[in-house]
Amino acid sequence: MNNYIFFYNTRFFTCVSPIGKETPQLVQHEIDFEDFEKLELSGFELSLLLHHPHIVHTCAIYEDIIREKIIIIQAYLPGITLENYIIYNKNRIDKKWIISVLSQIADALAYLHSNGLVFNDLKTTNIIYNPQLHHITLIDTTTISDEKQKERAWTTIFAAPEMIDVLSKHLPKTSAVDMWSLGAILYELLKGYDTWPVKTAYDAYHVSNKQKNVLSSFDPTGHPPMLVDILYNLLDYNPRTRLKATPLLRLLKQRRISSSNHSQTHITPHKTIRHSI
């Protein structure tokens, strides 16, 4: 069952078996009717319409009335969660590999955001990495919602401040919430597993009301200036000025092109990179 990790932390799902005997292309998930009522159907409905190489493809959703189950057919994804990859590799993660991972995630987010959608629950357990293909895929599409939707599903410790802070209702809950979560992921890619300073809902609350700075203990020494700069711009408390997916993707592509041309490009850390894009 190790390969069947679409909903790695989601207790409602039972991954039955790959469809096909030799090279499985599809995987079937079953959800009891009573459990399905507790989930956000909108994410599944939206995922049927999405077609992107870095977002798991949902092929079909149908009811098995006799067995009282909802059957969901999705693309088969061999690989491991990004969380497990970070755990297994510890401090051996290559910086160029980090840029590749960020590019793929930013590509998926840019696609969603350009269509007015938000992933909402971006975290390392909702990302599958295929080491053979060096390919990243976002999973657990139950959390995808329209940007205007008020009710959202998210994981507290990775949630943007505006999702937690009940006192700052003036902060808009836009697609920028995904970019904060991407910043948390980048933090652990740079520093290692379980180094993200927000461990509890209590921590998240203090971050949201500015009593806790997630970057206060971050030491940029030894890290590429560009990645440090991206980190600071992703973990911008203000969602209006937080780095967006499309500019980030453009920057990362430029970096990869310049690296292939052996040119040296450096960005001063802690200053805005928007003017450099």
Rounded to an integer, the average pLDDT of 18-43 is 59
**For position 19, what pLDDT does the model report?**
44
The residues with which 153 forms a beta bridge, in sequence order, are none
pLDDT of 38 higher than 60? no
The rounded mean pLDDT for the chain is 79
**For position 122, what pLDDT does the model report?**
96
pLDDT of 14 higher than 80? no
CA distances for 215 relative to 44, 79, 227, angstroms: 35, 31, 14
Q: How confident is the model at residue 15 (pLDDT cuts 50, 70, 90)?
A: very low
The radius of gyration of the chain from alpha carbons, rounded to an integer in Å, stands at 19
Q: Which residue has the higher pLDDT, 58 or 166?
A: 58
Q: Which residue has the higher pLDDT, 68 or 153?
A: 68
Given a contact cutoff of 8 angstroms between Cβ atoms, the answer to whether 229 and 273 are in contact is yes
pLDDT of 229 higher than 80? yes
Fold of 80-276: Transferase(Phosphotransferase); domain 1 (1.10.510)
Rounded to an integer, the average pLDDT of 77-100 is 91
Asked which of 23-27, 150-154, 165-169, 218-222 is least confident by mean pLDDT, the reply is 165-169
Task: Looking at mean pLDDT, say which of 5-14, 46-55, 129-138 comes out highest.
Answer: 129-138
Q: Where are the domains of the chain?
A: 14-75, 80-276
CA distances for 218 relative to 87, 110, 188, 211, 244, angstroms: 19, 27, 11, 16, 22
Query: Which CATH class name applies to 14-75?
Result: alpha beta
CA distances for 240 relative to 62, 162, 233, 276, angstroms: 40, 11, 11, 18
Q: How confident is the model at residue 98 (pLDDT cuts 50, 70, 90)?
A: very high
CB atoms within 10 A of CB 229: 23
pLDDT of 45 higher than 80? no
Rounded to an integer, the average pLDDT of 80-108 is 93
pLDDT of 31 higher than 60? yes
Given a contact cutoff of 8 angstroms between Cβ atoms, the answer to whether 124 and 86 are in contact is yes
